[in-house]
Structure 1
Amino acid sequence: MKAQDLNAFFTEADTFFKAHVTNGKVAYSNINKEQSQLNELMGKAKLISVSKEAANDYQAFWINAYNLSVIKGIIDNYPTNSPLDIAGFFDKTTYALGGKEITLNDIEHKLLRGQFSDARFHFVLVCGAVGCPPLISKAYLPKDLNEQLNTQTKLALNGDFLRVNMKKKRVEVSQIMEWYKEDFTMKGKTEIDFINEYRTDKIPNNFKLKYFPYDWKVNKQ
């Protein structure tokens, strides 16, 4: 891998997200009208090779590649009301990325979660639905990655990713924490322990944890 190829990918991805993402919502109709920028970016991503030994390069590349591929998948089936309306969206459709033919699920579960124990991935991989954490209007970059992961995790856990009911001593959280419970309860921690690492107003440990349903409507502007 030439470093300049990877840097060019990050720069162009940054430009793309800035142009087409506002407050976590994606301008799919604009991208659909003019697809050349997205297709060029996907073409660049196809030729890049990253090694997990260079963890920040590797993680930043695959996070951006995932988020771009979700947009590509929705544009290829535009218009759509939800990624779930597209058969095989996560587990059958493949993208040519990083020298592989790979599905969205493979990026998330094999290349990221399977290689690194880091629950913060769940706050930056955006599946094209309103219930996902919001897409940021910039690229994830190797030099800023840890800070970006922390920022997005804090935003989610101090925002509408959870709902606290003091009277009922209950906290309702996104179903992401149910689906990936093992990621949020590593090393003997509870989900509430994980939440409190990033939350300003701590949740008391005796609160009951429930999950609210995921909103699968497409995250369009």
Structure 2
Amino acid sequence: ILDHYPVKSIMDIDISPGLFSNGPWDAKLLTIEGEKVSLNDIEHRILRPIFRDNRLHYALNCASLGCPNLQPKAYTAANTEELLGAGARAYINSPRGARMEKGSLLVSSIYKWFQVDFGGSEEGVVKHLLQYAEGGLADALKTYRNGLRDDYDWSLNEE
């Protein structure tokens, strides 16, 4: 982001190879143990397959308003469980994560894009949300059966 600022969205940083690519996701920006890797490599070839924990989605941030919050401290062996749980709770209970709107459940597109990580179905997503939902959202989710709508805000999170 800093190398390309000012931009309105991370999607405006079109440095990935390929004619139909957008964003920085596939650009080989880092070297790990001698291998050049992209952001997609880190998320989809390393973190998700190795850890198999859907809460990883609350730790990854793409600099967009639709993303989960950045945590105020680094992940360590001692605090990972605490931070992943706190990240899930904060995101799910924010309007960016999940909210009832006109009788429908509107969720972040993260839950659609990575539905396989959240039980592989809309019911699995709702079950996951219920683990962390609080108050009125939790009450609504307990009996919700009407399918999901999704949206995502790619605007740059400049805060």
Q: Which residue in the other structure is 2:157 paired with?
A: 219
Say which structure, 1 or 2, has more relative contact order (CA 8 Å, 6+ apart).
Answer: 1
Considering fraction of residues, name the structure with more helix: 1
Work out the CA distance in 2 between the residues paired with 1:135 and 1:141. Answer: 15
Give the root-mean-square deviation of aligned CA atoms: 2.1
Q: Deviations over 1:4-63 (max 9, x none)?
A: xxxxxxxxxxxxxxxxxxxxxxxxxxxxxxxxxxxxxxxxxxxxxxxxxxxxxxxxxxxx
Alpha-carbon distance, 1:207 to partner: 3.2
Work out the CA distance in 2 between the residues paired with 1:109 and 1:116. Answer: 11
Work out the CA distance in 2 between the residues paired with 1:99 and 1:198. Answer: 39
Question: Normalising by structure 2, what TM-score?
Answer: 0.82
Work out the CA distance in 1 between the residues paired with 2:81 and 2:33. Answer: 22
Q: How do 1:7-22 and structure 2 match up within 5 A?
A: none
Q: Deviations over 1:153-210 (max 9, x none)?
A: 0111122211114x62x211000000001000159x6211111011123212433232
Gaps of 5+ in 1: 1-73
Work out the CA distance in 2 between the residues paired with 1:155 and 1:127. Answer: 17
Of stretches 103-112 and 155-164 in structure 1, the one that deviates more from structure 2 is: 155-164
Q: Secondary structure at the match of 1:212?
A: strand
Gaps of 5+ in 2: 17-23
Larger-Rg structure: 1
Q: Percent identity?
A: 32
Q: Which residue in the other structure is 1:185 paired with?
A: 119
Structure 1 pair 100–123 and aligned structure 2 pair: CA distance change class (3 A) = same
Q: Does 1:80 align with 2:7?
A: yes
Residues 96 and 102 in structure 1, CA contact (< 8 A), matched pair in contact too: yes
Which ranges of 4 or more aligned residues in structure 1 deviate by more than 4 Å? none
Question: Normalising by structure 1, what TM-score?
Answer: 0.61
Q: How do 1:22-101 and structure 2 match up within 5 A?
A: 74-87=1-14, 88=16, 89-97=24-32, 99-101=34-36
Q: Paired residues, what number?
A: 146
Q: Secondary structure at the match of 2:148?
A: strand
Q: Which residue in the other structure is 1:126 paired with?
A: 61
